[in-house]
Amino acid sequence: MVAPTRAHATGRDHQIQLLQGTQELFPALIAEMDAALSDIQFETYIFDCTGAGADVAEALMRAARRGVRVHLALDGVGTGRLPEPWRTRMVQAGVHVQVYSPLGPLGLLLPMRWRRLHRKLCVVDGCVLYCGGINVLDDFHDPNHGALTAPRFDFAVRAEGSLVQQASETMEQLWWRMRAVRDVRQRRLSLALADLRAASAARLAARRAESRARGMRAELVLRDNVRNRARIERAYLRAIARARHEVIIANAYFVPGGKLRRALVLAARRGVRVQLLLQGRYEYFMQYHAARPVYGTLLAAGVEIHEYAPSFLHAKVAVIDADSRRAWATVGSSNLDPLSLLLAREANVIVRDAPFAQDLRKRLRHAMAHEGRQLDPQRYAERPWRERALDRIAFGIMRAALWVTGNRY
């Protein structure tokens, strides 16, 4: 594994460190939590206390016991209620836990429940931000598939600078909104109004932080269902349109919409080398099969598709023109699929810094060369009819689900 590097993304303002997998992220995160003095804000889609995940849980409890304010927000689908005895232990230690959008009796039958908290953010003492695609989930464990023989392939960043304040205030805003919803359900209206006022104040502070961050060489880009519906997708589209030499994207659940597909095809046709590192192992029916109908158009345009083989690919990263002054890279939680780009709350850090981009590029090219299988266009065209039928069924289900939500993709 390549050693992590620290790069100054915007001169004096930001420091961004690339971290690969839980083996690099968790020790850094736990050390930060053990040094926390006042405040830990934590959001994640999955919080699994198996293996190394338990170490993160213990660090949160240690911090809470010594008086640090610990806010832990979990998604109602990815995690739901923490299993016992972990939930009881956390509450007794003083960890404040909230579940984002619990499913309720009808579960995912309600389209409104498809809007999930998918971002992975942690801010410690308002000074340090961790952001990426890595859940609290041991790299050698999968809740559905059991023990893994090779680690999950994923990335995160550790960031310092003005984007940390934006992340903190965004998380604070969501926390108080969740509190307000809970209070309304419990008919505590006065508390709900107080929580909404706190959320409004956090929103105004986040806007001020965002305005200060514009023009800098590292930024936090959010996707939500209010003000930031298309920011992450637009960031990808702009970066791909400006590419001159190379585009490398590693994405776990890759079902790009028409705009992204056209951007990749046009880049390849104007001579840019476009390489995709995608999921090679079967994980879920929809994510595996719905992606494959879009491969044909990309392969025909000269896009290279590599499928990651040793374990599950969970990365959501990209690097463009790493060796130029226009180097661009992103690490975050957003897949390039409808759930991430149209429905979920997501967070990516964008870094415009050549050393950082070169580090990420080196890791991705190593994975493609040594741990991936390049998809042959002819072999793709000749895949068995049963496989093609499953691909079309999955793609059709996805399109029908989007029609139900009223979204066009």
State yes or no: is 259 an active-site residue.
no
Q: Please give the Cα distance from 250 to 271 (Å, whole number).
A: 20
Q: Could you give phi then psi for residue 18, rounded to 5 degrees? A: -85, 130
Closest of 273, 337, 255, 269 to residue 300, by C-alpha? 269
Q: Please give the Cα distance from 369 to 300 (Å, whole number).
A: 22
396, 402, 408, 409: CA torsion to nearest 10: -60
State yes or no: is 14 an active-site residue.
no
Q: Which tokens go with 100?
A: 């984002």
What DSSP element (H or E) covers 124?
strand 120-124
Q: Please give the Cα distance from 207 to 374 (Å, whole number).
A: 43
State yes or no: is 125 an active-site residue.
yes
Catalytic hit among 75, 139, 195, 321: 321
State the helix-helix crossing angle for 52-65 and 86-93, rounded to 10 degrees: 20
Rounded to the nearest angstrom, the gap between the alpha carbon of residue 332 and the centroid of all alpha carbons in its chain is 4
Closest of 102, 95, 97 to residue 82, by C-alpha? 97
State yes or no: is 314 an active-site residue.
yes
Q: Please give the Cα distance from 70 to 251 (Å, whole number).
A: 31
Catalytic hit among 13, 55, 125, 224: 125
Catalytic hit among 316, 337, 359, 391: 316
Residue type, 278: L
Catalytic hit among 14, 71, 118, 306: 118
Q: Please give the Cα distance from 264 to 266 (Å, whole number).
A: 6
State yes or no: is 321 an active-site residue.
yes
Q: Please give the Cα distance from 198 to 175 (Å, whole number).
A: 9
Catalytic hit among 48, 139, 314, 353: 314
Catalytic hit among 48, 71, 75, 120: 120
Place of tokens 């029609």: 403
Which active-site residues does the annotation give? Answer: 118, 120, 125, 314, 316, 321
